[in-house]
Amino acid sequence: MAISTARIIPLSDLTASQVAQWQELADSALEPNPFFEPAFVIPASRRLPEGVEPAIIFADSAGQLGACLPVLFERRWRRAPLRCVATRPTLSPTLHRTGLGTPLVGGSHGSEALGSLIDVLRQQASRDGSLFLALEVFGVGGTVDQLLREVLGDRGLRSYEYETWARSMVLRREQATYLSAVSSPRHRRELARRRRKIGEELGGVLELVDRSGDPEAVEELLSLEAVRGRAADEEVDGVGEDWFRELCARFRDQGRLYLLSLEAGGRPAAMACYLRAGDGMFCRRISYEPRVARHSPGLHLDVAVIDRFHDDGRMNWMDSCNLPEDRTTWSMWPDRRPVSTLLVPLRRGTGDLAARALVALHAAKQGLRTGKQGLRTGKERLSTEGGKERLG
C-alpha cells in the first residue's frame, strides 16, 4: 500500500507549484468538477466576507497529489451552532445547493489519498472541536462515492444523508431526440410559435451565437441580470461581479468557457455561461431579456444549447446545476443525476449525535412542509368541488 499524507493549507499560502499540481489533478480526476478547480475557487473566494478564507486539503499518495478538497472551517452549519468543516461548491455566502461538491480524486492511489484526507480532518477536529464534514452537493452513485464508502467503512465510520435530490442533465444519444423525449407535438408547436414571437419583438430570426471569446459578452450577461434586478443565482453578495469576470477570464484562457447567446438582430433574448470539465459541461449562469420573458426565452436557449451540444460531438453530457425547485429546467432536460448533502462525523459519539440530530430535524421540517402543502391542495380541491356543486 502506498504511503499517504495530507495537509491543510490556507488558499493564500499556496505556491504556484501547488496550484499547478491542483490543476493537474483536476484535469485527470475520476469525476471532473470545475467548481473545485483553482480557476473557480481562487476568484470565487473573493466573494467571501472579510477574514473568511477557504483552506485546501492536499492528500498525497506515492509521491503524487491524489485528492484535493476546498473547505471552510465553520462555527455554524446552516442555522445550527455546530462547528464543522464544510464544502460550499460555489463559495456563495447564501446558497448551499448550487455547483458540485464531489472531491477531486485521482485514478492512481485515489482511495489511499481520500482516506488520508479524512484522517487529517479527524486530527484537526480533535484540536478545533469540529463535529462533522458537510459535503454539500456531493455526486451520488459514482466512483468517488464508492471510494468514500470504502474509506469510511475501513475506519468504522459512516456518512449520513441530510438531503438528496435529482437535478436535470443531458446524456448524449445517438439521435437528437432530446426535445421529443420531454415534450408532446403540441408543446413543440407552441415553442415554435413563441420562438417566432421573440424574433419579431427583437427584430430578426433567433439564432444561437457562440461568444465565448468575447469579454464584452460577460458584460452583456451581467447587464441582463441588472435589468432584471437580481443576480442569476438569486443573491446579492455585496462584492460586485469582479470575481465572476475573473472566473470567466481564467476559463476562457484555458479554452473551457462557453458563453452562448440566443439573439435576433444582434440583441440577446437569453444568455448562458457554461464551464467545460472532462467530457462534460456545467451551467454556471443564465439570464434573459425581461421584455420577452412572457415567451420563455430561457426555454428556447435550453433547446438551442442542447442542439449545439449534440452537433458538437466533443462532450458526452451537460449538467444544468439547477436547484430542485427549478421546474422549468427540469421540464426541458431529459436526464437526471442524483446529488446529496452528506454529513461525515469527525468525532466519535458527539459527531454522530450531531449528524443524526440534523438529519432528523431536516426530515421533520420536510414532513411538516409537505403536510402543509397537502393541506393547501386539499382546501383548494374542496373549494373547487364546492363551487361546482353550488353551480349545479
Q: For residues 73 and 55, is the Cβ–Cβ distance under 8 A?
A: yes
Q: For residues 185 and 276, is the Cβ–Cβ distance under 8 A?
A: no
pLDDT digits (tens, 9 = 90+) for 110-138: 899 999 999 999 999 999 999 999 999 99
Q: Is 163 exposed, middle or buried (0-12, 13-18, 19+ CB in 10 A)?
A: middle
Q: For residues 292 and 46, is the Cβ–Cβ distance under 8 A?
A: no
Q: Which residues contact 348 (CB under 8 A, 6 or more apart)?
A: none
Q: For residues 220 and 261, is the Cβ–Cβ distance under 8 A?
A: yes
pLDDT digits (tens, 9 = 90+) for 189-205: 999 999 999 999 999 99
Phi, psi angle pair for 142, to nearest 5°: -95, -170
In angstroms, rounded to a whole number, what is the distance separating the alpha carbons of residues 40 and 237? 17
pLDDT per residue as tens, the chain (392 positions):
566 799 999 999 999 999 999 999 999 999 999 999 999 999 999 988 888 899 999 999 878 899 999 999 999 998 899 999 999 998 886 677 789 999 999 988 889 999 999 999 999 999 999 999 999 999 999 999 999 999 999 999 999 999 999 999 999 999 999 988 888 899 999 999 999 999 999 999 999 999 999 999 999 999 998 876 554 444 444 446 899 999 999 999 999 999 999 999 899 999 999 999 999 999 999 999 999 999 999 999 999 999 999 998 889 999 999 887 777 777 789 999 999 999 999 999 999 999 999 999 999 988 876 665 554 544 444 344 333 222 22
CA distances from 88 to 67, 70, 78, 92 (A): 17, 8, 11, 7
Q: For residues 269 and 292, is the Cβ–Cβ distance under 8 A?
A: yes
Residue 67 corresponds to which cell in the numbers above?
A: 485528492
| Domains defined along the chain, listed by start | 4-166+339-371 (3.40.630.30), 173-315 (3.40.630)
Radius of gyration over alpha carbons of the chain, in Å? 23
Q: If DSSP codes are grouped into helix, strand and coil, which group holds residue 219?
A: helix
Q: For residues 356 and 161, is the Cβ–Cβ distance under 8 A?
A: no
Phi-psi region of 173 (alpha: psi -120 to 50; beta: other; left: phi over 0): beta
User: What is the pTM assigned to this prediction?
Assistant: 0.89
Q: If DSSP codes are grouped into helix, strand and coil, which group holds residue 237?
A: coil
